[in-house]
Amino acid sequence: MSDLFEMPEPEVPQGQNAPEFTVSELSGAVKRVIEGEFGRVRVRGEIGRVSRPGSGHLYFDLKDDRATLAAIVWKGQASRLALRPEEGLEVIASGRLTTFPGQSKYQMIVDDIVPAGMGALMAMLEKRRAALAAEGLFDPARKQALPYLPTVIGVITSPSGAVIRDILHRLRDRFPSQVVIWPVAVQGDRCAPDVAAAIRGFNALAPGGPVPRPDLLIVARGGGSVEDLWGFNDEAVVRAAAESAIPLISAVGHETDTTLIDHAADRRAPTPTAAAEMAVPVLADLQARLSEGGARLMGGIQRGQDQRSQRLRDVARALPKADALMGPPRQRLDYWAERLPMALRGAATAKRVRFGAMAALMRADLLLRFITNERRGLSAPSERLHAATRRGQTQKARDLARLHDRLAPQVLMRPTQEARRALDALSRRLNAAAQGQTATWRARLDGVERLRQTLGYEQTLRRGYAVVRGDDQVVKSRAEALLAKRIEIQFHDGRLELAPRAAARKPTQQPDDGSPDGGGQPSLF
């Protein structure tokens, strides 16, 4: 700096001894100061407006709530950045400060950008995810089914490295297929635009063109840090994946890494190898299934034919021969046909003989004589029949008149009156006899009843005796009472049942036992 002041300036106006600079001189001086003072700085801030002009350089702003700093990443460095600068992301940029004298501007030449902590990155990612989800880009209804057996598989990945090798190996193992690789950068600044362009590029291919149009896409990348995989969270990539008319499998990072393209893809594979497994079936399985199908087809038609010819043979065997069918009726026909002319001749001869005999008897005078005889025999009885009938009628009329004279009602009444008088007399005698008899029987019955009462035990009960029953039997001794399970005492005014005794009580204890149920009752008997 000191050399600035040592410069002689003879034209300095009076009273002003400060040196005079050209603009370029001052700008150069400022540039030197700034570059010298800030040769290596790290700046934390949020990324503002990002622009990527055709030159390949990357321009963006770093800002906080009060200030803004212009930043540049030169072309050569831009592709090597671990993180693609995106508006809104909080980062720590490393580099140096310099000036741009042409615009009186100072700026930062950035050579490295890292996110300012995971939290910032994740918060931004979540915000973007929610926004894209709200647009319906991750809608399950948008998902397309993968083709069962794709003809051409388009793989979007780095052409070198383990990922494409893993995919090809697994495809080779399962079903050797036609694969078209679209080479892309899988990290750094070029990653997102490359991948988005590749997805769109594959979709833009016309069927039948020089480059075959795939019917399945795989977007693949090996595992890495969140920053490494960041390109697959890019909005352009997510949109391209969601819009892809060709079904798409995403296989980015390890199983635990989730990027936004996974949500937009039709299927998400945990690893590139798994993507290859989703893409194609196993050739050997298909061959086995096909040859099994072929064998079953042969077997099916063969069995059908066999069954039919077997049935035909069976039915044919059951069908009788025509000769056998016709034999018996033909024989019967022959038998009867032979006998027919003879029978006719025999029958005619027999009839003719009988007719001849009858015809000889049939003469006209024979019939006339028969009629004359009959008529003569008929006339005498006929006259006798008339006379007899008239005599009979006269006799019957006379008998009727006589009987009629004798018929009178008094004849009928007389026997009835006599019978009634006899009945009345008998009835009166029966009443008198019955009353006498009943009085005698009552007197005898009363006597017997008095005798019965004096003899019965119930009268005895009135005098203070009692009947003891055990199990409904009269108990006549102490031994019986001990055996009975239930004791009942009958007094003159009713029966008293004593509580059942304990069955276990031994008879030897009985004499000492003062309980009423075992007590002195047997002494009565």
Partner 1 sequence: MTQNPDQSQTPVEAMSFEDAMAALEQVVGALEKGDVPLDQSITLYERGAALKAHCEARLKAAEEKVAQITLGEGGQPRGMTPVTGL
List interacting residues with partner 1 (CB under 8 A): 145, 147-149, 159, 164-165, 168, 171-172, 175-183, 194, 197, 201, 205, 210-211, 283, 286-287, 289-290, 293-294, 296-297, 299-301, 303-304, 307-308
Element (H, E) at 403: helix 364-406
Q: Name the token pair of 86.
A: 């995106």
Residues 230, 83 contacting (CB under 8 angstroms):
yes
Q: Which is nearer to partner 1, 293 or 507 (CB)?
A: 293
Residues 499, 451 contacting (CB under 8 angstroms):
no
Describe the strand order of the beta sheet including 487-491 as a list of residue ranges.
473-474, 467-470, 487-491, 494-497
DSSP annotation of 143 reads P
Q: Which is nearer to partner 1, 145 or 425 (CB)?
A: 145
Q: Which is nearer to partner 1, 194 or 277 (CB)?
A: 194
CB atoms within 10 A of CB 390: 8
Distance CA 123, CA 117 (A): 10
Phi and psi of 207, rounded to 5°?
-60, 140
Pairing of strands 487-491, 267-268: unpaired
Nearest CA among 56, 40, 34, 63 for reference residue 112: 40
Q: 3-state SS string over 254-280?
A: CCCCCCHHHHHCCEECCCHHHHHHHHC
CB of 182 to partner 1, least distance (A): 5
CB of 260 to partner 1, least distance (A): 22
187 Cβ contact partners less than 8 Å away, ≥ 6 residues apart? 82, 221, 224, 228, 229, 230, 231
CB of 290 to partner 1, least distance (A): 5
CB of 146 to partner 1, least distance (A): 9
Q: Which is nearer to partner 1, 293 or 500 (CB)?
A: 293
Residues 456, 467 contacting (CB under 8 angstroms):
no
Q: Which is nearer to partner 1, 140 or 210 (CB)?
A: 210
Q: Which is nearer to partner 1, 130 or 284 (CB)?
A: 284
Residues 472, 509 contacting (CB under 8 angstroms):
no
CB of 289 to partner 1, least distance (A): 7
Q: Which is nearer to partner 1, 206 or 401 (CB)?
A: 206
CB of 263 to partner 1, least distance (A): 23
CB of 197 to partner 1, least distance (A): 5
Q: Which is nearer to partner 1, 96 or 200 (CB)?
A: 200
CB of 24 to partner 1, least distance (A): 38
Distance CA 382, CA 4 (A): 200
Q: Which is nearer to partner 1, 303 or 495 (CB)?
A: 303
CB of 34 to partner 1, least distance (A): 38
